[in-house]
Amino acid sequence: MLKLRTTRLALELSAVQARYSEAKEQLALLSAQASAAVAQNHQLSLELTRAKAETEFLQQNLEQQSARWQQAQQEQKSANETAQKEQERHWQERLQALKEEFAALAEKTLSARSSDLRAANQEQLALLLAPMADKITAFKAAVENKGEKDLELIAALNSHISSIQAETRRIGTEANDLARALRGDHKAQGNWGEMILEKILEQSGLLKEREYETQVTLRDANGRVLKNAEGRSLIADAVIYYPDRKAVVVDSKVSLVSLLDYQNASSDPQRTAAAQRFLQSVEQHTRSLSSKDYAGNLSNSSLDAVDFVIMFIPVDAAYTLLQQEKPGFWQEAFQKKVVIVNPHNLIPLLRLVQIAWQRSTALDNVREIISTAEEILSRLNAFLNEFDHIQDSLNRAQEAWTTAAGKLKDEKNKQSVIRSAQKMRALGASLPRAGKINPSWQVNQLQESSELDCSASTISPPVQ
């Protein structure tokens, strides 16, 4: 009975030792994973810092490039005007030079002919007839040759001027055709503005359907189409989404007719009247957008809208004219919760939205890493608690083993069950045969708790 218990305790100790070794390996593995997670978290923090610095640098660079572009545009405009004036002055000077050359040639011709006639009157008619005929013939050939060259030059000049005028008329005709087409069709104007807006969105780097959408029919949380006060469906030209799911509506507005009238005006009163019509058109567009109350209507939908709407003017000349005629109009529009932009300041806005999405993605990754690290630490803490329980079980098993071994051998009195049995046999007692006892078995081997060496010899079972 005692032998079976001893054997069972040895097996339990071996199992406990195996669990201990496996626990040590898991602890080392989890410690390595925790260290890697901490290092990766630190690396991502550094990358986030670099991304913030890059964002600030790109913003400054964008502002500088925008200022340079505006300056270059102004310089190009001045250079074009100067070149046009210089070309007009050159042709005027050339025409004047030709007129003077023709006048001088005529005067010289008349003077030469008068001199010849006076000389002929002073000499004998017979002596002058032949030389006079030769001179007249040579003079006629020279005049005809000079006239032909001048006519060729004038013809080439007239042809060049005619071709320029024809090209100008063609361009003007095409521009007028486009203007008439857009004047007579407000739908075409709107489609053209929406096309420009969609092209800018496509080139901005934002992802369609995730970071922006075009021609969006707004719906409430139950999927019903939202309508304005007039009962019309609310359809936005574009909706730009921020990482926090906030949405901003962009609506394209074109005031092309009055702008063309302003550019084609032939007098200051006509230009002033066209500018007033243009301002009235822009003000009407602003009031229309403000009355649609996109932000208020979107609050009833699944989207969380910002408290303003962007009015996109696709024509730079229209935006420039608005700033020129009424510089403070954008403040009035902003009070109506309308922000006015043109292509050049819409592009930086879209770039900032793209950077915000990149930063949001990086922050999501950091949060995921932190969550994973917290999970690993939680599992590690649970393992350490379980490891403490294993250590307690090992200690109890060692104490039980020591107690059992002590019952077989009394170190204090130098007595043991085996020696007592041998002594009884030596005194003549009849005992059953037992297997050979291994004298190298020592109880103190069981007391090495740090190693938990289970290689101690056991008592051989009795021979059957």
Instruction: Read off the pLDDT of residues 35-90 as tens digits, 9 standing for 90 and up.
Output: 887 788 788 888 888 878 888 888 888 888 888 888 888 888 888 788 778 877 87
Say if residue 266 is in the same domain as residue 308. Answer: yes
- The 10 Å Cβ neighbour count of residue 261 is 18
Separation CA 208–CA 241 (nearest Å): 10
> At residue 335, does pLDDT exceed 60?
yes
In this predicted structure, the answer to whether residue 297 has a pLDDT above a threshold of 70 is no
Arithmetic mean of pLDDT, 382-399 = 78
The span from the CA of 314 to the CA of 31, in Å, is 59
Same domain, yes or no, for 200 and 318? yes
Element (H, E) at 123: none
Question: Is 391 a domain residue?
Answer: yes
330 plus 190 within the same structural domain: yes
Range of the domain at 393: 2-49+366-447
**pLDDT per residue over 164-219, tens digit each?**
345 434 533 444 455 455 555 667 777 777 888 888 888 777 788 887 888 888 77
The verdict on 370 and 337 lying in the same domain is no
- Percent of the chain, pLDDT > 70? 61
pLDDT at 169: 47
Q: What is the pTM of this model?
A: 0.41
pLDDT of residue 379: 74
Residue 314 and residue 438 share a domain = no
pLDDT of residue 456: 39
| Site of tokens 């069709």 | 185
- Given a cut of 60, is residue 404 above it in pLDDT? yes
Residue 184, CA distances (Å) to 176, 219, 318 in order: 12, 33, 19
How far CA 449 is from CA of 15, 20, 25, 335, 452, in Å, comes to: 15, 12, 19, 81, 5
pLDDT value of residue 452: 40
Same domain, 257 and 404: no
Helices 343-408 and 2-122: angle between axes, nearest 10 degrees: 160
Cα separations in angstroms, 410 against 156, 269, 403, 454: 136, 127, 11, 22
Residue 184 pLDDT: 56
278 domain-assigned: yes
Task: Give the per-residue pLDDT at 185.
Answer: 60
User: Which stretches does DSSP call E strand in 282-352?
Assistant: 304-305, 309-312, 338-341
Tell me the mean pLDDT in the region 343-359.
72
Average pLDDT value for the chain? 71
**Residue 459: predicted pLDDT:** 36
Average pLDDT over residues 222-233: 74
20-23's contacts with Cβ under 8 Å and 24+ in sequence apart are 20/390, 20/394, 20/452, 23/383, 23/386, 23/387, 23/390
Residue 275: CATH number of its domain: 3.40.1350
Are 191 and 306 in the same domain?
yes
Q: Is 87 helix (H, G, I), strand (E, B) or coil?
A: helix
Q: Which residue has the higher pLDDT, 462 or 59?
A: 59
CA distances from 181 to 51, 175, 189, 256, 265 (A): 48, 10, 9, 11, 19
Residue 460 confidence (pLDDT) above 50: no
- Higher-confidence position of 417 and 81: 81
Amino acid residing at 342: N
Across the range 223-252, mean pLDDT stands at 78
pLDDT of residue 449: 39
Six token digits for residue 255: 């005031």
Between CA 93 and CA 90 the distance in angstroms is 5
pLDDT of residue 374: 72
Contact 309, 283 (CB under 8 A): no
Domain finish residue from 286, 308, 341: 341
From 126-140, 281-295, 363-377, the region with the lowest mean pLDDT: 126-140
333 and 376 fall within a common domain: no
SS3 301: strand
Confidence at 394, pLDDT banded by 50, 70, 90:
confident
In this predicted structure, the answer to whether residue 131 has a pLDDT above a threshold of 80 is no
Contact criterion met (CB below 8 Å) for 447 and 398? yes
- Please tell me the predicted confidence (pLDDT) of residue 126: 53
Is 354 part of a structural domain of the chain?
A: no
Residue 156 burial (10 A CB sphere; 0-12, 13-18, 19+)? exposed
Confidence (pLDDT) at 165: 42
pLDDT at residue number 67: 85
Determine the average pLDDT of the residues in 241-248.
76
Phi then psi for 459, rounded to 5 degrees?
Answer: -75, 130
How many structural domains compose the chain?
2
